[in-house]
Amino acid sequence: MESYNYFVLARAIHVIGVVLWIGGVAFVTTVLISALKKVPDTGSRLDLFERLEGKFALQARIVTVITGLSGFYMLESMNAWERYLQPQFWWLHLMTFIWIVFTVVLFILEPLFLHRWFRERAIRDSDRAFALVHRMHKILLTLSLLAVFGAVTGAHGLYLFQ
């Protein structure tokens, strides 16, 4: 198979990874947390959140690795590292930043202390804890969607900054 075909496969895998990852973040942000904030029993709210979000965390870990590897492969195969020095590829910077944030949260912060920290906070004041986690998810979702927007427009030659 030609290297171009490998590139096309890497891009397809990358896009599928982004769809599963950011689509999951969108679901957690716009549906799951919003619905859970309305559950009156705070104990049930926390338990349900941990069960459902825990399932997504595994998916998110897998697809962030796949997305990172496929993105690295595409950059390497195009020898496009200099794009990090060009402002018209702002979305590449944002995409990389989002990937780093999620990777650090999913693989380092959450297992080490974030899960326990959120649980303790939610037991003390569920409404404030869920409002905080909802706000953080909204920020990350907004930045993620902006990166997707920039990547799609940039991949088709529309550069907002030149």
* Per-residue model confidence as pLDDT tens digits over 51-77: 998 889 999 999 999 999 999 999 999
Share of the chain above pLDDT 90, in %: 86
Instruction: Say what the pLDDT of residue 1 is.
Output: 64
Instruction: Say what the pLDDT of residue 159 is.
Output: 72
Please compute Rg for the chain using Cα positions. 18
Instruction: Say what the pLDDT of residue 162 is.
Output: 66
Instruction: Say what the pLDDT of residue 59 is.
Output: 93
Instruction: Say what the pLDDT of residue 40 is.
Output: 93
Flag whether pLDDT at 12 surpasses 90. yes
Angle at 104 between CA 60 and CA 124, to 5 degrees: 85
Instruction: Say what the pLDDT of residue 76 is.
Output: 96
Q: What distances in angstroms separate CA 27 from CA 32, 52, 53, 95, 126, one per listed residue?
A: 6, 11, 10, 19, 20
11: burial class by Cβ within 10 Å (0-12, 13-18, 19+)? Answer: middle
Q: Which two tokens stand for residue 137?
A: 């998810």
Flag whether pLDDT at 24 surpasses 70. yes
Instruction: Say what the pLDDT of residue 154 is.
Output: 87
Instruction: Say what the pLDDT of residue 8 is.
Output: 95
Please state the pTM of the whole predicted model. Answer: 0.91
Q: Put residue 79 in one of left, alpha, beta given phi > 0 → left and psi -120 to 50 → alpha.
A: left
